[in-house]
Amino acid sequence: MQNDNEKMLQEIVQNTEMGKNTLDELMGLTHDQRLKDEMMRQKREYRRINQAAHTALDAIGAQAKGQSAAARMSVSMGIRTRTMMDKSTRNLATMLAEGSGQGVLDCKRAEKDYPTASPGAKQLCSELGELQARAENTWREFI
Q: Residue 66: enclosing H or E segment and its boundaries? A: none
pTM: 0.91
* Own/partner long-range contacts of 30-33 (Cβ < 8 Å, ≥24 apart): 30/87, 30/89, 30/92, 32/89, 32/142
Question: pLDDT 10s per residue in the chain (143 long)?
Answer: 469 999 999 999 999 999 999 999 999 999 999 999 999 999 999 999 999 999 999 999 999 998 888 888 888 888 889 999 999 999 999 999 999 999 999 999 999 999 999 999 999 999 999 999 999 999 999 99
Computed from CA positions of residues 36, 40, 46, 50, in that sequence, does the dihedral angle turn out positive or negative? Answer: positive
Contacts of 141 (CB under 8 A, 6+ apart): 93
pLDDT of residue 69: 84
| CB contact at 8 A, 124 and 52 | yes
DSSP 51-64: HHHHHHHHHTT---
